[in-house]
A and B are shown apart, each in its own frame.
Chain A
Amino acid sequence: MSSAQLLSVSGVSKEFPGVKALNNVSFDLNEGEVHAIVGENGAGKSTLMKILSGIYKKDSGDITYKGSSVSIPNPFEAQKLGISIIHQELNLMPHLTVAENIFIGREDRFPGGVFLDNKKLVEAAVALLAELGLALNPNDIVGELTIAKQQMVEIAKAVSYRGSVIIMDEPTSSLTPAETDALFAIIRSLKAAGKGVVYISHRLEELEKITDRITVLRDGEYVQTLKTTETSIPEVISLMVGRKVAQDQRPENRVIGTEIVLRVEGLSDQHLLKDISFDLRKGEILGFAGLMGAGRTELARAIMGADPKTAGTITLHGNEVKIKQPSDAVAVGIGYLSEDRKRFGLLLNQDITFNVILSSIPRFSNKFGFLKVKSAAGIARDAIAQLRVRTPSERQFLKNLSGGNQQKVVIAKWLTRDCEVLIFDEPTRGIDVGAKDEIYRLLTKLAEEGKSIIMISSELPEVLRLSDRIAVMCDGRLTGIIDNKDADQNVIMELATKFSAGLTSVN
Chain B
Amino acid sequence: MSEALSAAKKAEDGNKVAAFIRREIGRVTALASLVVIFTFFTIMRPVFASWANVSGGILMSTTVIGLMAIGVTFVIITGGIDLSVGTSMALVAVITGKTVMAMHLNVWSGILLGMLVGTILGAINGILITVLKLPPFIATLATMKGAQGLALIISDLKPILFTTDVKGWDSIAQGNIIPNFPNAVLILLVAAVVASIILNKTVLGRYTFAIGSNTEATKLSGVKVNRWLVAIYALCGLFVGLAAVVMTSRLGSAQPDLGLGYELEAIAAVIIGGTSLLGGKGTISGTIIGALIMSVLINGLRILELQQEWQYVVVGAVILLAVYGDNVRRRRAGETTH
Contact = CB atoms under 8 A, between A and B. Distances in A.
B interface, size bucket:
20 to 34
Interface string A334-357: 000000000000000000000000
A272 to B, nearest CB: 13
Contacts of B210: 93, 96, 100, 104
Which residue, B213, B222, B223, has most C-beta atoms of chain A within 10 A?
A: B222
B201 A115 contact: yes
A55 B219 CA distance: 10
B213 A75 contact: no
B335 interface: yes
A105 interface: yes
Contacts of A386: none
Given A93-B214, A96-B210, A104-B218, 15 more contacts: A76-B222, A91-B220, A92-B214, A92-B217, A93-B213, A93-B217, A104-B210, A104-B217, A105-B222, A106-B222, A107-B206, A113-B203, A115-B202, A118-B201, A141-B23
Contact of A94 (B213, B219, B220, B221): B213
22 contacts: A76-B222, A91-B214, A91-B216, A93-B213, A93-B214, A93-B280, A94-B214, A95-B209, A95-B212, A95-B213, A95-B281, A96-B206, A96-B210, A104-B210, A104-B218, A104-B221, A105-B218, A105-B223, A113-B203, A116-B201, A116-B205, A157-B221
Contacts of A100: 206, 210
A480 interface: no
Contacts of A106: 222
A94 B278 CA distance: 12
Contacts of A107: 203, 206
Contacts of A113: 203
B226 to A, nearest CB: 12
Nearest to A74: B222
A66 interface: no
A55 B202 contact: no
A116 B205 CA distance: 9
A55 B217 contact: no
Interface of B: 23, 201-206, 209-210, 212-214, 216-223, 280-281, 335
Contacts of A115: 201-203
Contacts of A92: 214, 217
A452 interface: no
Contacts of A76: 222
B232 to A, nearest CB: 15
B203 A116 contact: yes
A118 B201 CA distance: 8
A92 B220 CA distance: 10
A68 B26 CA distance: 54
Interface string A103-122: 01111010001111010000
Contact of A116 (B23, B202, B223): B202
Nearest to A143: B335
Interface string A362-392: 0000000000000000000000000000000
A106 B23 CA distance: 26
Contacts of B212: 95
Given A75-B222, A76-B222, A116-B201, A91 B217 contact: yes
Which residue, B201, B205, B220, B223, has most C-beta atoms of chain A within 10 A?
A: B220
Nearest to B279: A95
B222 to A, nearest CB: 4
Chain A interface SS verdict (over half): loop
A114 B222 contact: no
Contacts of B220: 55, 75, 87, 91
Nearest to A55: B220
Contact of A104 (B201, B223, B280): B223
Nearest to B224: A76
A105 B280 contact: no
Nearest to A94: B213
Contact of B209 (A87, A96, A157): A96
Which 8 residue pairs are nearest across A and B when measured between Cβ atoms? A93-B213, A91-B217, A95-B280, A76-B222, A95-B213, A105-B222, A105-B223, A104-B221
A79 B280 contact: no
A114 B203 contact: yes
A105 B204 CA distance: 11
Nearest to A80: B222
B199 to A, nearest CB: 11
Nearest to B201: A115
B12 to A, nearest CB: 10
A145 to B, nearest CB: 13
A92 B218 CA distance: 8
Contacts of B216: 91
A91 B280 CA distance: 14
A93 B335 contact: no
Interface string A70-87: 000001100100000001
Nearest to A92: B217
Nearest to A91: B217
Nearest to A76: B222
Nearest to A157: B221
Contacts of A141: 23
B221 A105 contact: yes
Which residue, B202, B206, B216, B335, has most C-beta atoms of chain A within 10 A?
A: B206
A118 B202 CA distance: 10
Contacts of B209: 93, 95-96
A159 to B, nearest CB: 14
Contacts of B23: 141
A94 B210 CA distance: 9
A77 to B, nearest CB: 9
B315 to A, nearest CB: 29
A136 to B, nearest CB: 15
B217 to A, nearest CB: 4
Nearest to B211: A93
Nearest to B77: A95
Contacts of B217: 91-93, 104
Contacts of B214: 91-94
B229 to A, nearest CB: 15
B300 to A, nearest CB: 35
A104 B213 CA distance: 12
A96 B213 contact: yes
Contacts of A87: 220
Contacts of B213: 93-96
Interface in A35-92: 55, 75-76, 79, 87, 91-92
A75 B219 contact: yes
B203 A109 contact: yes
Nearest to A102: B221
A100 B221 CA distance: 12
A92 to B, nearest CB: 6
Contacts of B201: 115-116, 118
B281 to A, nearest CB: 5
A104 to B, nearest CB: 5
Contact of A93 (B202, B205, B218): B218
A109 B206 CA distance: 12
A91 B205 CA distance: 20
Contacts of A105: 218, 221-223
Contacts of B280: 93-95
Contacts of A95: 209, 212-213, 280-281
